[in-house]
Each structure stands twice: as structure tokens, then as C-alpha cells.
Structure 1
Amino acid sequence: MDYRRTLLPLFLLYYTDAALKMTGPSTHRAMLGSDTQIPCKFTADKLPVDPKFFAVIWYYAKNSILSYDNTVMTTDPRYSINKHQALNGIADLIISNTSISDGGVYICSVTDSPFRMEQEVTVNIQAIPNITITNKLVTNNESVLQSVISGFYPVDIDIKWLRDGEILDKVIVENPQRDPDGTYHVRSSVTITPTEEDRERIFSCRVQHKSLTAPLQEDFQLVYGAIPLISIVSTKVQRNIKNTLICKATGFFPPQIKIMWYRNGKVLKNQFMEKPQEYGTGTYQVTSTLTITPTNDDQNQIFSCRVQHDSLQEPLREDFQLIYEETSMFLVILICSIVVALLIIAVVVSLCCWKHKHKRSENQSANITRGNHPEHSEQLLPPKKAELLDPEIGEIKVPELTEGELAELECKIYNYATLSYTVLWLQKLEDKLKFVKLNKAIKRDETSKDQNTYIATLTLSDVQMSDDGSEYICRVQCSDAWSIIERSTGPIRVKANQSANRTRRNGPEHLERLLSPNRAELPDPEFIEFILPKMIEGEPDTLKCEIRNLTKSHTVNWHQRLKKERKVLNRGSPVKRDETSTDQNTFIVTLDLPAVQMSDDGTEYVCEVEFPGALPPKKPAIKKPIRGSTGPLQVKVKQRAEISSENSKSQTSDLKQICKSDHETSEKHKEDQPQYNMASEKEDKGDKH
């Protein structure tokens, strides 16, 4: 092969009328970023040519970039050639991901020994422009529309502005600028004075370029804006203490705006801008604050509030100097004197209240010591009612409920003592009473002058259609868990939401394995709901309690409460898993009730869960039992109950009892009335059941 190449120039001198001829075009157009194929076509006496006598070399800028002589060698992995087509007269150079630098003159050299031919091909790289309207906001005065045309090549370009197809004058086109990828961008603008008719007209920016087969055009409509007005609310400050300066911008549109604070041209820290608020006239206003601690050095400095908005050709600025206010010594002395006087008055009032309360406690102790004669009891009752105001529940605020969305219920409570009462939320659906323990909060009503008025909130994070017709009950109970007051929302209504998505998982487990005390440690048990009996006179019934996180080490008991008398109905009640629940840790405890009597009206049933060691001869439990109450139940006469069940659902009635907070009375009856609460607590030693 080396021998043939040495003799190749001698053969070319003798074969002027060669059988090898080049037939490809001399120019080629390639788009930026695309894969292109630079043509090199030839004819020969016989195709395909014999590869033993065939070679192709491509040159760019007089340098070899690809050669084919049985094997292909390139200087750039983007270059390639189709060997099969090359033997059949198509020796095109393939370039992938074309860039601007790929433009220029290429030479294709084809050898079919003893013949050799060359052809030059000029490659023109082109890139299509992109139009971006950077400003279409105008005011009632002379305004400027702006655009940026980017990403085009070669540099020559023609830009026009139109209004309803008519070409506008006063057009400015800046000099094109080169980008790092070799393409160009250019800015263009047109000045107009908007009219009312222009609100409905179509404005356009039209571009003509070599890379386009037809003009490129971007249409838009004008956006009418309003220029902001700025004002400094106050420039008066005091030395060496924190002061707040306020800059206000009003009457602007659109709402996007930026406000910055400067001192002698330098940006200041500790500045905050609120969210723009709508005026009501279609414009907006916003306030920006600056917190500073002025010193003597700041007295002659220039402070500025600068506003940037799309309706402005340049930022709006308001300059000012600080005005120092000197605090008089007389004012300081006066303020200190008032503070001291208020402190003295507060101490005196506190001492008087303490003495009065101590004296009243001594009188009550003396009355209790004299005995429990009815006359003494009647004398004791009036002072206690005067001391304590019973809590009252106002209307429950219920928003519009939509399936799959968040909602918040609000229950206003008057005369609420945070240390003596707790608030619970319950959900009642048909005969099921469910305790709602998540997403609830209670806080003081800031809108009320009464310090003992609170608002209890319940957040429903995901309202379901299954909640439709249920009732939510706000219950206020005393610390002994027996005296309660509650109020119901009545049946609620849930609106369907077609986009709501629900998922449900199934998978029952064996009860023995679920109740095993050796399984992974679970949280403390918690009550989910009561399935209430119908309580119809003369008929037996069943009460069910649904509990989560039970194990074999827990004991479940039932208690009955009627007219402040309590008795144990059943200890160690049987437990079975709730097969209707997808939660594998949910269990059902039942209590069979004999024939219900009218004397059972007002009865409460308490389901109690004891922790390990609560029953003899085991050691005392390390935690106090948790208990859930049904609240007072109403016994129905059989005929009335049948009529009521056919016509409407019964609603929860308010039950209000006095919460005893007197310490001596609570200690005296401690053994007869153990402390009950819906939340888990530690059990006091010596508590008898």
C-alpha cells in the first residue's frame, strides 16, 4: 500500500481524463445543534470500488480530520463516515451536534488508484432566533415596549414592530452581542403613547433571518399599569435605642414590586417588606420597614427608600435625613414614678386577696369540723356557688366541609379554668361515639375582654364523605372525669369532591399474635370510640368500646356511674380484634346490659384499661389506668323510642355538673371518688377500685 501511494502522483500526471469524477454540491447548510451530513459524491467506472485501491480523506482548515483506508481514523468523535456507502460513491462526512465553529470550507479527497479527485464544500451554520417580550407594561403616558431576540446566527437580522399588522416607527435596535456559544442576541424597543383603543389591539414583534423560511412573529396585548407613589411615614428617631422607619408605596399595578433601604448608597440590613395588599381600586399598596439603632454618626447621613416596579423606567427614590428627638428627664422620672406606683398597688391588692381567701378557708374548715348536719350543708352550699362559675359552651362554628380538604371547627368556652378542666372532641356517627385526639388546640380568645374565655379548635385534616351526617361534640370535663358539659354541632353535611382520592389497605392478623406482650413495644392504649346502646326500657342491649394498642398484659374493666355512685360491673372483660378495622392493633371490648329500666336514666358507663401489676397479688401498676366515658345515657320509653328512630336521629344533650375544686372536700372523698381522666396518667399509690 505504501508503494501505491508513492506512485500515486505519477499516475495522476498521466491520467488527465480520469474515470473518477466528483458530483457533489459545493455548499451545504447546517442547523445549530443538529446532526449534519456534508456531501461528497463521486462516480467511477465500476461501483462499488475495490477497497484495496480506495481511500477517502476529509480536510478542514488544511488539516486532516478523517481518513478512511480500510479503517476509519478521526480527530473528533463527532466525525464519522458510512464505509458501505463510501464504496458505492457516497463519501459524506457526518458531524453530530453541530456547533458554530463547524462552519467553514471542507475538502473531500477521494482516491481510486490510480485516480484521485478533490472537492471543496462550504458549510454555512445557521441558528433560528427566539423572541422574548421583556416589557409590555404601559401607562397613560409615553411608554416603551421592549424585546430580546436571542440565539441566532449569522449576525444579520431584521426587526419590526407592528400594531394590528401596521408597522410602527420610533423603533430602536441595539448592536447585536455575541454569546459564549457563538450565537448572537440583540435588544429592540419601540416608543408608543397608549390610547383607550390600544387596550383591544394586537401588538407584534416580527423578525426576518436567513435561518427562517418565513418571518417569526410574537403577538401580545398591552398591560396597563399604575406608577407607585412612595412616602416616608416618619423620620423622627431616638439615639441608641431601636427605631423603626416606615416606607410606604401606594397606587401601583401589577403587584410585583421591590423596596430597598440605603444609607449613603449602601444597602442596609434588618429591612422587611410586607406582602402587597389590594387597594380596592385595582391597585396595590405595600409597607417596608427598617429597624436601626441610630448613633451620633448617623445624624448627617443620607438615607434612601428606593422602589423598583415594571411601570417605572428607572427606580423611584425618596431621600431623607434622621431627625433626633431628645427624651426629657422629666418624662423619664414621670414614667418611672407611674411604674413604681402600679407595682405598690399590685402588691397591696395581692395581700388583701390572700388574707380574704385564707380567712374564708378557715371558716369553711370550721363548718366542716362541726359535722355533716343538713343545716350545715345548706349553709356551706351558697359560698361555694359564689366562688366558682361553671363553664359554659357557646355555639360551635362549623365551616363549609368539602371532601378531601382541610377544615377547622371552633368551640367558644366561657369561664374556663385551665388547671381544673380539660377539653375533648368526640365524633358521633349513628350509634358510634368516637374520641378525636389529634389536631386539636385550645387558646384564649384574644377578641374577648374576659380572661377566662377560650376557643377550642379541632382541625380535620382530611374530610371524608363517610363523615356526612355525623356530629362533632365539644366536651368540657372536670379533673375527676365525672362532671362534664358538652355541646354538639348537630349533623354535619359534606360536599362531594370529584378529585378526592382515597386508599384503603386490608390485612387481618391473628388475635393471639397481636395481643402477645413479646411483640414490638407499642404506645399506650387509647380509646377510639364507643358503640352506644339504644337504651330502650325493658330491652337488653350491648355496649361496645373500641381500643387501640392493647396487649395481654393489659386488663379491661367496666364501671357504672349513676347519681355520683360508682360500682364495678366486670373485671377482666374479654377482648377480640376489630375485624372491620384496617388497623391490626384495634380491639373491641363488649359489656352485655340486662333489661334496661327507667331508673338507669342518666347512667354513665366507664371503660377502664389497667396497666401491668394493677391486680393482686402483682406489684402496683407503674402507670395510672386510662378511662373512657360514654357520658350520661338517656333511657327511652319503648313506644317513644320506636317513633323517634323512624322520624329522626337523637341529638346529644348538654349535661352540666358542678366541678368541685375545694381541696378539703376532695381529700375527704378521695377513696370514694378516684380521679378519672380520658388521657393516660400515673396511678396514685393506694387508689382503691
Structure 2
Amino acid sequence: MATVGGQMDAWALRLGGLLLPLLFLGTAGSQLQVTTAPSSTARMGSGVLLQCRFDVGGPVALDSLWVTWYFWEEKVAWYEQGRRKELPRASLPLEKELESGDASLLLAVVTVSDEGLYRCVVGYRTQQHHGETILHLLAAPTISIPRKPVVADAETSLLCHVGRFYPKDVDVAWLRDGQVLKGFTRSSPQRNTHGTFNLTLTYTFTPAHSDSSSIFSCHVRHAALEQPIQEDVTLDILAGDQTGAVVGAVLGILIGAGATVAAAIYFWRKRKKGWAVSYNVPKVQGPDRCLLGQEVTLRCSMEGTFPEDVAVTWERIHSEDRTVPESAGDQESPEHQPLLPALPLGWRVTEERAGTHLTSSLTFTPTLQDDGARVRCVFLHEAERIREERVSPEIRVWARPQVSEIQVLPEWDPRDKVPFAVQLHNFYPREVPPIQWGWDGAGSWREDPTQIDKNADGTFTATSVWRVPSRSLTQPELRVRVCVQHGPGEPASERELSLRAAGLLRPPDVSKISQTEATATGKGVTLSCRITGHFPGELSVTWLRRRKGEATAVILRDGAECRVEPGTAVLARDGKSFQQETRLTCWTSRDKGAEYICRVGHLTLQTPIERSSTCHPHPLDQEVVSQPQALVPLQRVTTQPLPSGSYTKKLAIIPIKKRARKKENIHVESSDPHRMHTPAPSPVPDGKSYSVESELRLPPAGPEDDGVEYLCRVQHEAMQEPESRSSGRLRV
């Protein structure tokens, strides 16, 4: 099964940068390069880190990066411009690691179904490259040999069950005293529901009494093993006549009583003065793990034919006394047994006798001092020279962590990420259970604790911090979640926290509207409004205008009349709020006296905040249009209107011809034989306004032009009425 250590090792690979040998998969001459390991190997039930590194030739801009991992053709995780999604048990690096060029994929608790081809695809701006790696899985085999007595001169079979291995290629053999036996058979590997394999190795022979001194071994080699494993067994051989007599007597009693024999009975045999005392003492039974402070019971039993007055005692072996092997009861004589202390206070022993069964139970409440200790169960009958003992496996004490509620830390470092934290209190042993973070609409990320402290009582406390980019938190009901796994068969602890409950939401402060003077480059009058203190950063800014005498305000957009700049939210110095400045530049003065409104909306506001001001554009100096110079008959002349002080270049100069004794005026158009030339306005030396010089070229005057008057009419948005200048009447 998976171990926390295996998952932590995968994260150590990521954080420490201990890369496997890498295969270069980039394109020569390309700025983007991607490297992956050709293959990766993991043990079933553990975590594995599939390496993928990329290089863009400089700093990584996350808004130009996207990463996608495929398992065969199925997407398992992807990231794009701050958004990510991951399937269960898969997670990508945090943004800080992505910025360093790490796009590795972490898989938690891998199974056989996770074995195969993985592809890491990295895109940056207009480039895209990928790398591939093949994940191979391993599961180490286990050995189980059924123990039973055999009968001399009767054919018997030794069975070795080899189970839970992957892949299915395995080398197995029966040995006798270290030498490979001939004639054993093996079954075909059978697949289990979780993908591993089992097989049975069988050796059939006819044992003799001399075989009791031999050691038979089941020997296994497999790719998941660093070295071969084997389990040894010795034979307890019963004499054929004695076995028949015992079994016959038992069958005679059962048949005489009208009983039906429904199952085979196997006996362990101890000799005493020519008659057989047959019984069996299994291993000590109990839980694999003992929960700290929760009562636990260990059981030891004797089954078969034994004296009624057999005594049972329990002894505790301290965790520091590691010299007593588990099978000591089978190998050491009573006089060589070490003297052990009595059971600790509060430990109690109970017995239950029923026919051929004697069961003794040891009940206690484990403490941390019991972690690693063992207990010995001893069945003793001095007169019959019976001493059978069994030593339990090590007592493994654990304490389930108490998981705090999620909190937001007061110090934000880096300041553009919100630190969410959870504490795990009073857990044991020191290995921290897996911690998964996530949020609505996104995958989950595994986080290692930033700090582990030992408590006075020997338990531990750890803190896990998950940092989320501030700009990603945009919805008040968005929930950050953490899940702490306690172990196989144990329910996980889950906590969640919404942005609203976290106290992160802050409404904006909106300043009064300020107005600048006319700008030096003639860009108009600018209204500005400063917005500060809001979280999250997203808000809406709308500029409106309400003309004088009108009840309704209209929304302003970029155009000929104005320019709207909503502004961009930037983080405050402590990172806990945003601020921005919005501007409205007025190009026109026709709305003199109009009211301008800045409307700000934010998710913390039920009603938008409004600020208003009146815009006063800088007017045009209307007294600077010059008189046309004197006109001389039959010669070209130039009029020079010089309007200045205008804050915009938009200016209209219209020449008009007035005939004597006629009321109508004639606009001098481009199709008229007269010619007019008006260049683009140019800045005046003070740099605060524009001027323009317009030429009106007249053809030679004829008799019909006597008394004609030419007017230069100037129109500008800052002037309430057009202004005209006359050349005076021409005399021909």
C-alpha cells in the first residue's frame, strides 16, 4: 500500500530538483525546450513524480504559458494563464515552480491502471514542444506457506503461495537445505481485482522421518525486490501407526456419539512418556495499529488436547529490548528465557476456556511509551513440561491529528499570494499524513507542511500553508478546501473556508473627482478619481455625463468627445488590497456646465458608489484672428486668421465672398476659381495652444469684382458663435 514516505519522497524530488537522467526533446534552434525522463518507475500504492522541465530562454511569463499532461490520449492535468484543472490524484506544480521551469506531474497512490505513456506538452507564446515518459509499476511479492503436520511414508504436498506481485514475471523455486528441488510445479499467474498476480508453487513427495531435520524453503526473485526473499519451513512428521491410532480413537468416539466428521484435523505433537499431547498455539492476534488513548485487546489461544491446569501469563517487552526474536518461544528453553517485568498498571488479562480451546486476552490503553514494544504470551504447565510462548509483532501506536479550521495568515509573502493555513495538532508518529488543498472549480495540490514541532507529550504539531494568487480570488462564495488523509480505512478530515468567511472581502474607498488644467500638449481637460482599499481587485468603472437641465445621465465611451480610461488594479504595498486610478479626458466644451459622474461597482457593494464633478474646459482666445492684409486688384493676396489658445486642433476656416448690392453670401469652395489653402494647425511657442495661417488666393479682379468683400469665418468648439474678419471692399 501507499506510504506517506513515498509521497513525500516524490515532493522531495520536485523541491530539491533531483532529476532523473533526462532525454532532450526540444527542437534545435528553438527558444522553447522541453526535457523529460525516458521512463519512470513507481511502487503500487505510492506516489510518483513524472519529471518535465522546460526552458524559454529567459524569465517565464505565466500569462504566456500553458502546460498539458496526457495519459495516452486522455488529459489528466492542465494549466493556462492562472487557471488549472486536474483529475483526482494528479497535481501540477505551484506557479512559483512553473516560473522556474518545472512542469512535473505528481501522481498520488498509483495503481496498475496508471501504468503507460505520459506526454508533457508545454506551450509558450507561439511555440509548443512536448516530451514523453513511460511509467512502469512494481509490486513486491509476498510468501505464505500453510503449516500442517505430515505423516511419514504418506504422499504429501508442500504449498507456497506467492501473491500480490507485479509485473507477472517472477522466478520461484522450492529449495531443500539450500539446493533447488526437482519436480515442483507452479500454477499460471492469476490476476487479482487490483491488477497484481498470485501463483502457487507445489512440491509433492513422500516424507521419511529423516526429512524432519531438513529445511524446506520457498525462494522468490522479482523485479520489485532488491534481493530475493524466501520463507523456510521444517516438517513435523508423525509416525504412521501413532497417527492412525490417535485419529482412529477420535473417529471412534465421534462415530459412537453419532457425530459427523466435517473437516480435517491437524495436530502439533509434543511427546511425554510415550503418549501424545496434541495442541496448536497460533500467533498473537491483534490490530496492526493501536490508536493512542483507545483501548485495544490482544489475544493468544491454545487449541487441541492439553492439561486443564495450563497457566497463561503475559509479559511486556520494552521497545528498547530488541534482542528477543519473534520466534523465541519455539527456540529457547525455559531456563534461558530473560526475566521480564510485570505488566504495567492498568493492563488486564482475561481467560476463556471452552472444551479444547483456551483463549487469553490482554486489554490495555496504549501510550507513546508502548510504541515499538512487544508482548509475550506464555502457556505453562510445569508437570507436563509444557512451555509455549508467542511474541507479538511490535505495537505501533498512532494518534489521529486534530485538524484546525482554515485561517488566513497575517503576513503575506510573497505579497501577491494569499496564505491559507491549517494546523495538525497532536499526531503521532512524526510522518505527516497526506494533505490535499483545492478550491471550487479547480483541481487539488499536495502541500508539505512548512513546519513540524514536537509537543511536550511526545506528539507532533504541523502547519501546512497553501498560497493562492490574489488575482485568482474573484468570487465571494469561492471556497478553499483542505483534506487530510489519516490512513487506510480511516475517514479523512476536511475543512473549507469561503472568501466571505475569511474576512478578505473589502469594499473600495472612492475619492472625490479632481480636475487638471489644460495639458501642455493640448490633450484636453482630465477628470480623475482614485479607488483604494478593495479586495478582490476586480471592479467596474463607468463614466457618465448629465447635461445641464437634463434628468438622465448617459454613459460615456471613447470617441470624438472624450477618452475613458478605467485604470488597472495594482496591489497595495502589504498585498491585502488593490488600488487603481480612473480618468476621463474631455475633448469638447459644448457641454459647459454639464455634470460628470464616476460610478464604481464592486462585489462587496449592493449599490455602486458615485462621485460627480462639473468639467470646465479651457476656452479659446477669440480675439486673435487677424485682419486680412490689404487686397490689391489683379494680385494674389493672403488673409491670416491666427486663432490661438485652443486645446484641440479641430478648427474650421471658411472663406466667404460677398458681392456688392447683393444679400447672399457665397462660400468659396474648392471648385471655385478662387483657391484656398489652410495647413494643419501647429503649436505656438508657449506650447499651450495651436495656431493656423490660411491663404486665400484671388484671381485677377475684373469689373464684376468691384465692391466685393471677402470674409474669413472661424468655427471652433470652444466658441459659442463663429467669428468673422473682413478684407474690406475691393475697388477695381
Normalised by the size of structure 1, how large is the TM-score? 0.34
Give the helix-richer structure, 1 or 2.
Answer: 1
